[in-house]
Amino acid sequence: MWRFTCAVALLLCVFCGRTAPAEQKILPDFPEYPNYYGCAPTSGAMILGYWDRNGYPDLLPGPATPFRTEIKQLIASSRHIADYWVAWGSTAEDPWVTEGRPAPTSADCLADYMVTSRGLTPDGWTSPAQIPAGLENFALYRNASYEFTGIRHFSLDFERDFVPEIDAGRPVLLFVKIGSSIDHVLVGYGYDDSDPDNPKFAAMDTFMGNPPGTIDWWPWSKTAGGVILKPLSTPVPYPEGDANEDWCVNILDLLVVRANLGKTSSQINPPSADVDSDGTVNVADLLAVRAALGQGSGCR
């Protein structure tokens, strides 16, 4: 009997040991933007801002943060607002119609590419069906070699679909239900599956704003599908002299090299401060950065 009990206890222990360990993962350096004329284009811009920092530096002009005029214009341009916007939630005729102007033909922002606020779509709203192609085509608009694929999923399984995307370094645009139907779009950029009965995702919610250093955890049960976006084209390599690897050679790179002067091999932090890769940071690295100042598509 004693043996039997022990064997059962051992089995239980082995079973316990096999339950999933507490796990949490967050994609670092994820840009956060407040809602600007629509949660879908703003959330799309945050995802593209992330990719702008991770191999596709032409997606946004210059760095992905801070949130500023150039980025606002790429979410919803002044032209887009003048053509389609009346007021939040308004289904009134678009201003280009009431003002007797010709139908807009150009697209210059995410809200254009996602067909946000247009026609019968309430201002600030976006049809989920328009989002995948909107993201893909906006990326091509910014750089014709940036190929992304976006696929809309009517439901996403936390462990099967979402966790692997985050593990692969890819944020996911999520549809959520605050009321009874899909009424909001935000970005999932991390997960917490430490409680298998209540898995959670880290949300960048354009309406809430996360106080600095905090993470907005949402229960996965709030989600109702989303868009998985993957880059297909090869990431752009860092330009010569880009000591801090942000696709732009500027004063920051000179500072990184200066802070590492005299260091060798494993002391060099980040390793990219050794611009000419000879194992030492010295004046040759400073000169290499100086010669390349202004280079890199991340500068523009």
For binding to Ca ion (CB under 5 A), which residues are involved?
A: 84, 94, 117, 123, 242, 244, 246, 248, 253, 274, 276, 278, 285
What are φ and ψ of residue 218, in 5° steps?
-115, 145
CB of 119 to Ca ion, least distance (A): 7
CB of 288 to Ca ion, least distance (A): 8
Closest to Ca ion by CB, 130 or 244: 244
CB of 213 to Ca ion, least distance (A): 25
CA dihedral 230, 58, 235, 247 (to 10 degrees): -140
What are the DSSP calls for 139-161, one per residue? HHHH-TT--EEEEEES---IIII
Judged on CB neighbours under 10 Å (0-12, 13-18, 19+), 102 is: exposed
What are φ and ψ of residue 25, in 5° steps?
-140, 135
Calpha distance 251→227 (Å, rounded): 38
CB of 247 to Ca ion, least distance (A): 7
CB of 283 to Ca ion, least distance (A): 9
Closest to Ca ion by CB, 99 or 195: 99
**Amino acid at the residue 103:** A
Find out whether 284 and 258 touch, Cβ atoms under 8 Å: no
Closest to Ca ion by CB, 223 or 260: 260
Closest to Ca ion by CB, 228 or 243: 243
Closest to Ca ion by CB, 38 or 44: 38
